[in-house]
Structure 1
């Protein structure tokens, strides 16, 4: 493989790595793709274009493997997840390269092709099979508040499109250099000159993209120029720092180990909640992290169904009554509402010997009585269920546990009600990585809007790695997209209050880095943003438009593009035509 195609791919990999955490040098996001885009018009002789795609694929792996290395920290089996997810995401880079080369060879200018194709493929990666909407190009800009304000119109994907367009424009201007073109072996004259390859087209593209950037920046400044947000409910965000091993031990086969783990989990979080409840200005609600209460909340019918075994019924009834007594004790002790992260459990409607488990957020009132609940909808493959486990049983080998830990998916978007300051506030909950899915948070904004959003999560798997900061960076976009404050209570952190501008207004520590892996009870008021979000109402219209454009172009242009140096004369192609070529 030639260095002229491998080196640009490697350089882009390095620029992408430093654009994200742990370094978080987001300014490099504006140029990170530029070297990689040199592969789009590059020519490989003797019909060996696979060299170009191989270089692009290797470059993507050099970015994804170090970026996703925090996955391996969670469990030895997660090394397979690390490798598999890196390989899977790299395929979208190859797809993008193939589409870009195809369209540029047809005469479409690079600054037009890059944002449309990149946005479409990035959206696919974030949507197919539950999606993985991390490490998008737009997320490099999470700290540049004027730029990300446009997310309330075009979503996080639109920010990616703008960054990709700037990368494409810079790459196109570099390709005007004779030295760059000779290095990439691009001939001086296009095979069929078109308006798309004319210098005037590049100038017009420059005006358009610079204009879009200035308009985005101006829109951001306008949206940030508003009166201070009124303050709503006062929340206490409980951030535990329990190692994942303690949480796993509550399910141990050894009864003594399980009891000790349950006691440690409960005492740890109750102590932090007591600390929050005794604050000089008590909170309206104490929010626990995901599954931080060690025992399940059991829902049962009033009487035992005839087909349910008596011992199962007795066991579930005992757990239900015990947990209910603990909730009453805690609620009265705190004198406030509490949102508890725990597992929900109920009888299976189809199998009397089976129970169904959920990842649940449960709101209890000051008397300890449950008032509303939400079951997590977006489950993590292998972490919360094994996909296709019945038809492909070998997939159980990739499970991190040797017992049945799968949960069911919830079906209802619950709007919780919280009284505060003489009125009722409504909030919606997203659990764990649901805050990385733009579609889920938007559901609370598209009908009767909630007043704010809550994320409860357990990042204890990742033991102080850069996952904690990256997760918070991802969550910022949900606040801007919906124009609703987002409060996060996260085991191991980073817990935070994010206002509707995406600004971090409260942290447990002085910085992101010092706020993780520490126990904390963060008490803060929620900024109430009542702006209407276009994206919240209409969703992913921009990436769907780009995806439609790509599919339509593929259907309308079915003949294979011809690259110079890779063509051989045929009876229908005179030698002179085969030697001429196409520019990018």
Structure 2
């Protein structure tokens, strides 16, 4: 098929000679393992546009190579016959992109290597291998619309945009490092998330970063240089709008002073029930340290996800000890596992929860995690039983894992002295427009005033993982127009205003604490907060329509 592509590429309507057209021709003519190997390498290069690196040109090179590979695959083939080879290019590209972006998952299997080392290839290679199928489907859909010319960039944006949305929703969803994060980590560019969200940013990222591919093709300077010029104008316009939207620092909520406690507890044998007293003492000691000279006393203390290696709700002595460590008027918001009495014939149910504890020792409110991590926090009972029969177990040493909170019960936390709190636990904060489920009725007439994210990234050590997690949670603040308060066991803990500005943060892997005021929410909210992915759906339809119309033109 490379000969067919060579004939198409050499047609009179193509630009004559030049290094860029020559490079595009050489890439398009690749076949076999060279084609798919280059697709894998291009995808891996694209991952360096994600946090913590943020090298946007890498995604431009990555997607440009992908377009040229698609050109060579589509040339000379009928519409249906190009579906499978385009799918394979997309799968190889996605496999490389996710392998390079998610390799740090392997760190979690090394924490208790004697039990979990066997599963390391499943996390480091198996997960990217499987999730690459979404990109394969996206590239396949784009291939059905493929036409040499600028419209093929819209076709690719449609295919990848739809694939990323599906990756974030199907099979419980995993929208980690969605391509829109290439724009979603830059303070100016991320402001567009307030209107179009992460998936809208994904459409823009593909349109902008794949546009240079047209420099190698086109019978007229307008079709050859126009897309790249348009991409530059879009980037400049996004940056100017973002800079204008930022404005002065956001006001703060009067009478609120937060203390985020980062104990830096290792995820190993030290975090055991027999060490409960030392662990609780460590939290209390960090919580009671005096503030900086001239700074007010904290009104609210925050501890991270799964703060205790035991069920504190069933340990009145520990609850009393925690309450005694609070000063009058202070309240504690902490992550903690909790148990619920079973119905007759059922096993005890465990939940990954957030609890509100007052100075009188009362647990006044709780939130149970709804979006559990598959294989990490839960397994279907038959699979869990099969693993245990083989002498293996999942990460959470609870038969069957945690139970999920129900959407009907999901609610805003009521914390005395704070505006209503939209609670998220761990990677729940990476899901766009999922801070509150559709149809949610809060317990108070007030809208939420902040997003709380408690997490434990100790599993992943000093890798890109915790930094990527922070960047994705940060974008939720911009989308919803709410400040984000994030407390992580080993870091990175931070307070972020509703425009995505980091007010204060801690280093990674340090025992420390952070005192900060609470920024106020954006009055009236954001377009994305009100309408969700409606703008993304319109952008997706526009890309599909533009590519389809171009195909019908003579």
Q: Which residue of 1 aligns with 2:514?
A: 522
Kindly state the Cα deviation for residue 409 of structure 1 after the two structures are TM-superposed: 1.3
Mean Cα deviation higher: 370-379 or 399-408: 399-408
Matched, 1:537 2:530: yes
Q: Which residue of 2 aligns with 1:325?
A: 320
Q: Which residue of 1 aligns with 2:144?
A: 102
| Whole-Å separation in 1 of the counterparts to 2:224 and 2:157 | 15
| Whole-Å separation in 2 of the counterparts to 1:44 and 1:375 | 49
Q: Which residue of 1 aligns with 2:4?
A: none
Q: Which residue of 1 aligns with 2:268?
A: 245
Change (3 A) 1:462 1:6: same
Q: Which residue of 1 aligns with 2:104?
A: 70
Q: Find 1:32's aligned residue among 42, 55, 62.
A: 62
Q: Find 1:266's aligned residue among 260, 277, 280.
A: 280
Kindly state the Cα deviation for residue 55 of structure 1 after the two structures are TM-superposed: 4.3
Q: Which residue of 2 aligns with 1:363?
A: 356
Change (3 A) 1:174 1:476: farther
Kindly state the Cα deviation for residue 94 of structure 1 after the two structures are TM-superposed: 1.1
TM-score using structure 1 length: 0.76
Q: How far does the alpha carbon of each residue in 1:88-109 deviate from its partner, in whole angstroms, 9 at most, with x for none?
A: 2211221121111111149881
Kindly state the Cα deviation for residue 42 of structure 1 after the two structures are TM-superposed: 1.3
Matched, 1:471 2:469: yes
| Whole-Å separation in 1 of the counterparts to 2:189 and 2:39 | 27
Kindly state the Cα deviation for residue 271 of structure 1 after the two structures are TM-superposed: 2.1
| Whole-Å separation in 1 of the counterparts to 2:137 and 2:183 | 24
Q: Is the 8 A contact 2:411 2:422 kept in 1?
A: yes
| Whole-Å separation in 2 of the counterparts to 1:60 and 1:136 | 11
Q: Which residue of 1 aligns with 2:487?
A: 489
**Pairwise CA RMSD of aligned residues?**
3.5
Matched, 1:407 2:441: no
Q: How far does the alpha carbon of each residue in 1:505-558 deviate from its partner, in whole angstroms, 9 at most, with x for none?
A: 2012xxxxxx1111111111111132321111111223444667899999x99x
Kindly state the Cα deviation for residue 464 of structure 1 after the two structures are TM-superposed: 1.7
SS at match of 1:41: helix
Kindly state the Cα deviation for residue 468 of structure 1 after the two structures are TM-superposed: 1.1
| Whole-Å separation in 2 of the counterparts to 1:398 and 1:140 | 36
Q: Which residue of 1 aligns with 2:183?
A: 141
Q: Is the 8 A contact 1:162 1:213 kept in 2?
A: no
Change (3 A) 1:27 1:209: closer
Q: Which residue of 1 aligns with 2:424?
A: 430
Change (3 A) 1:438 1:401: closer
Q: Which residue of 1 aligns with 2:23?
A: none
Mean Cα deviation higher: 88-97 or 455-464: 88-97
Which runs of 5 or more residues in structure 1 are unaligned?
Answer: 178-197, 251-257, 299-318, 509-514, 562-581
Kindly state the Cα deviation for residue 174 of structure 1 after the two structures are TM-superposed: 2.6
Q: Which residue of 2 aligns with 1:340?
A: 334
| Whole-Å separation in 2 of the counterparts to 1:45 and 1:211 | 31
Kindly state the Cα deviation for residue 141 of structure 1 after the two structures are TM-superposed: 2.5
Change (3 A) 1:66 1:392: same
| Whole-Å separation in 2 of the counterparts to 1:276 and 1:434 | 32
Q: Which residue of 2 aligns with 1:294?
A: 309
Q: Which residue of 1 aligns with 2:22?
A: none
Matched, 1:379 2:376: no
| Whole-Å separation in 1 of the counterparts to 2:474 and 2:147 | 38
Q: How far does the alpha carbon of each residue in 1:234-259 deviate from its partner, in whole angstroms, 9 at most, with x for none?
A: 11111121111146x53xxxxxxx41
Q: Is the 8 A contact 2:490 2:508 kept in 1?
A: yes
Q: Is the 8 A contact 2:93 2:135 kept in 1?
A: no
| Whole-Å separation in 2 of the counterparts to 1:402 and 1:369 | 28
Mean Cα deviation higher: 154-163 or 3-12: 3-12
Q: Which residue of 1 aligns with 2:504?
A: 506
| Whole-Å separation in 1 of the counterparts to 2:214 and 2:75 | 22
Q: Which residue of 2 aligns with 1:416?
A: 413
Give the structure, 1 or 2, with the largest relative contact order (CA under 8 Å, sep 6 or more).
Answer: 1
Mean Cα deviation higher: 133-142 or 545-554: 545-554
Mean Cα deviation higher: 543-552 or 447-456: 543-552
| Whole-Å separation in 2 of the counterparts to 1:553 and 1:278 | 58
Change (3 A) 1:365 1:164: same
SS at match of 1:526: strand
Kindly state the Cα deviation for residue 204 of structure 1 after the two structures are TM-superposed: 7.2
Q: Which residue of 2 aligns with 1:9?
A: 39
Q: Is the 8 A contact 2:414 2:420 kept in 1?
A: yes
